[in-house]
């Protein structure tokens, strides 16, 4: 058994620790850059407020009666669904916008304080929203009621993505679709359910061994999947389905229906008395509401108007109304755990993709170090573009796994910072440079962060860097000589193999075991990555994986 795990890069934390200033309790902003739209909706008045504990507390948000909209979105979505960004101009991947008749507000968390301050202009507004009012949001994406932003957006709204889907080869997937569907159906039977509605795009892609490109940086496609005990139905735009995909799905016994037909299919299941497995943490309100409404109608037809259709259950105790009544089980999707535990082919793909990515990064760092030392002028954007060139040369490269964070000096403290040609810094040798980047390969996804200094780091910089060393890990079962009570133990295996810059490490702060950890890691980096390199890049790797004590003496 192996489970993929990721930790917040401490090298990123080090840069932020050095440069950022403490966020105030409340930052006010207005969004005058969106004048045409905001003057219609909110008189161009906007307040920005950080969320408590990084969470969106909908119960605390009240808006002007019938005229307000609450906009939410997941981290990566297609451009045509970026309503909050269109409305506000704020491009962070997390945030909530509320618009009333004459005012508006934006909530986001601590990751985006600096970005919001940079993208939005300052203006103070207090007592924005009167209490006792209703919130209107898009039922297709998040919750109930309707959204009117699309009407204002009009013809300027980007078209929905139409890129074709593709089959994810079994040599990378490891398990075929019929076997995965059989696993899901066994869980349906165990929980007394007739069908499960799967709406998470990554779960649909994993379960059907398919990939797409509807969402930037993610190989997924907009779709729904309903798995029943005897059949399965994929709801997707037919323009995205090639002959290869049709054949792939037919072999697995999966039927196709239009993307828009998901609601009517849920209603059909309710009408025939099916017991549905619903993941309330991921399903949008349009589906849940359609199911409840249809169940209510059926109950009324049967003279059971006063009977409850279903009741919520805790995640570990799925229950529903029995005795033949229409009902649902609310529980975490059965795909979630199955997807998180990687099979041998997936583990092999993860390892191989990380090694190829490490080779690309070694070539990149070798190139960048030479350019900076020669005082060649380079912007943060040019650096990110060059890294992309090196990655594109690697087998199986598809795209980046997120926008590359290329931050020099204080910019490295801006979490999720993204340089633009119009607004970026030049990379030099006088300060820290942070690079947080990743790639989507056909056999795996990478995410690697490194902080470096091309000149002479200060003692303070070295201290901060040294105290936060860590990367990306594979969790696996360990074979130990002794185990207490027959209990199995879990351990870690490294996946990322890019050198940690030794000049930024204050060896005096490390224990002997910690020094051995760094040296052993660099030995492994050299052993695994050097066969993929040649010439200057291989020499660079050798120089940057020398033992720490060799470096200090």
- Dihedral class, residue 296 (left if φ above 0, else alpha if ψ from -120 to 50, else beta): alpha
So what's the pLDDT on residue 139?
Answer: 52
CA distance 241 to 225: 15
Same domain membership, residue 541 and residue 397: yes
Q: Are residues 227 and 297 in the same domain?
A: yes
Give yes or no for a contact between 338 and 185, defined as CB atoms under 8 angstroms apart: no
CA distances to 103, 114, 292 from 285, in Å: 26, 33, 10
List C-alpha distances in Å: 210 to 218, 246, 398, 532: 12, 11, 14, 29
**Across 258-376, where does the E strand assignment appear?**
276-278, 328-330
Indicate if 398 and 459 belong to the same structural domain. yes
From first CA to last CA, the distance across the chain in angstroms is 43
d(CA 388, CA 361): 10
Strand order in the sheet with 69-71: 46-50, 104-108, 96-99, 69-71
Of the residues 156, 180, 211, the one at which a domain ends: 156
Asked if residue 503 belongs to a domain, the reply is yes
Res 487: pLDDT = 79
209 belongs to a structural domain: yes
The verdict on 101 and 216 lying in the same domain is: no
Query: Which residue has 């991921």 as its token pair?
Result: 282
- Averaged over successive runs of 10 residues, the pLDDT of the chain (553 residues) comes to 32 32 32 33 34 34 29 56 73 74 73 68 44 55 49 81 94 97 96 94 97 94 95 95 96 96 93 89 83 83 56 40 59 92 95 97 98 96 98 97 95 87 94 97 96 96 86 80 76 91 94 93 96 97 90 50
| DSSP bridge pairs for 70 | 98
Residues 179 and 220 in one domain: yes
Does the CA dihedral 539-540-541-545 come out positive or negative? positive
CB 451 within 8 A of CB 14: yes
Residue 193: inside a domain, yes or no?
Answer: yes
Cβ contacts of 155 within 8 Å, gap of 6 or more: none
Among 138, 156, 174, where does a domain finish? 156
- Taking alpha carbons only, the member of 433, 435, 434, 431 closest to residue 457 is 431
Last residue of a domain, one of 333, 356, 388: 333
pTM for the predicted model, two decimal places: 0.75
Which sign, positive or negative, has the C-alpha torsion 85, 89, 93, 94?
Answer: negative
Cα separation of 545 and 540, whole Å? 9
The verdict on 415 and 487 lying in the same domain is: yes
Alpha carbon separation from 535 to 107, 144, 362, 524 (Å, rounded): 50, 60, 12, 20
SS3 string, 504-515, reads HCCHHHCCHHHH
Q: Give the residue numbers spanning the domain of 202.
A: 166-301+327-333
Q: What CATH number does the domain containing 428 carry? A: 3.90.230.10
């Amino acid at each position: 058994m192996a489970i993929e795990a990721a930790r917040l890069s401490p090298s990123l934390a080090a840069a932020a620790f050095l440069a950022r200033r403490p966020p105030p309790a409340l930052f006010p902003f207005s969004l005058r850059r969106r004048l045409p739209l905001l003057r219609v909706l909110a008189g161009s008045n906007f307040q920005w407020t950080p969320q408590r504990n990084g969470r969106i507390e909908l119960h605390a948000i009240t808006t002007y009666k019938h005229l307000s909209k609450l906009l939410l979105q997941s981290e990566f979505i297609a451009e045509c669904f970026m309503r909050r960004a269109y409305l506000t101009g704020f491009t962070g991947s997390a945030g909530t916008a509320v618009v009333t008749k004459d005012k508006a507000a934006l909530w986001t968390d601590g990751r985006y304080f600096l970005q919001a301050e940079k993208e939005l202009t300052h203006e103070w507004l207090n007592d924005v929203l009167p209490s006792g009012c209703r919130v209107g949001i898009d039922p297709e994406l998040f919750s109930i009621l309707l959204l009117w932003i699309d009407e204002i957006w009009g013809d300027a709204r980007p078209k929905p993505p139409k890129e074709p889907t593709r089959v994810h080869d079994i040599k990378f997937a490891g398990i075929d679709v019929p076997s995965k569907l059989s696993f899901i159906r066994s869980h349906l039977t165990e929980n007394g359910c007739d069908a499960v509605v799967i709406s998470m795009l990554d779960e649909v892609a994993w379960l059907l061994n398919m990939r797409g490109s509807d969402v930037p940086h993610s190989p997924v496609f907009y779709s729904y999947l309903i798995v029943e005990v005897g059949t399965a139905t994929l709801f997707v735009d037919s323009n995205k389905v090639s002959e290869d995909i049709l054949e792939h799905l037919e072999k697995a016994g999966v039927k196709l229906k239009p993307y828009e037909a998901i609601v009517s299919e849920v209603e059909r299941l309710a009408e025939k008395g099916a017991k549905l497995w619903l993941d309330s943490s991921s399903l949008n309100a349009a589906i849940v509401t359609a199911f409840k409404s249809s169940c209510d109608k059926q109950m009324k037809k049967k003279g059971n108007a006063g009977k409850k259709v279903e009741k919520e259950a805790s995640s570990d105790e799925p229950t529903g109304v029995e005795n033949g009544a229409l009902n649902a089980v609310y529980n975490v999707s059965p795909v979630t755990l199955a997807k998180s535990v990687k099979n041998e082919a997936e583990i092999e793909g993860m390892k191989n993709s990380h090694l190829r990515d490490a080779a690309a990064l070694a070539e990149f760092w070798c190139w960048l170090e030479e350019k900076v030392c020669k005082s060649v002028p380079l912007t943060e954007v040019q650096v990110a573009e060059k890294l992309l060139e090196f990655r594109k040369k690697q087998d199986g490269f598809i795209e980046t796994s997120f926008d590359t964070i290329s931050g020099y000096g204080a910019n490295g403290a801006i979490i999720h910072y993204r340089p633009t040609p119009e607004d970026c810094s030049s990379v030099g040798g006088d300060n820290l440079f942070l690079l947080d980047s990743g790639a989507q390969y056909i056999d795996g996804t990478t995410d690697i962060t490194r902080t470096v200094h091309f000149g002479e780091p200060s003692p303070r910089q070295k201290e901060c860097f040294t105290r936060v060393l860590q990367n990306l890990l594979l969790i696996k079962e360990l074979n130990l000589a002794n185990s207490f009570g027959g209990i199995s133990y879990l351990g870690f295996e490294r996946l990322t193999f890019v050198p940690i810059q030794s000049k930024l490490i204050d060896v005096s702060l490390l224990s002997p075991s910690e020094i051995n950890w760094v040296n052993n890691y660099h030995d492994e980096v050299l052993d695994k990555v050097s066969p993929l390199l040649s010439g200057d890049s291989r020499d660079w790797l050798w120089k940057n994986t020398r033992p720490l004590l060799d470096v200090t003496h």
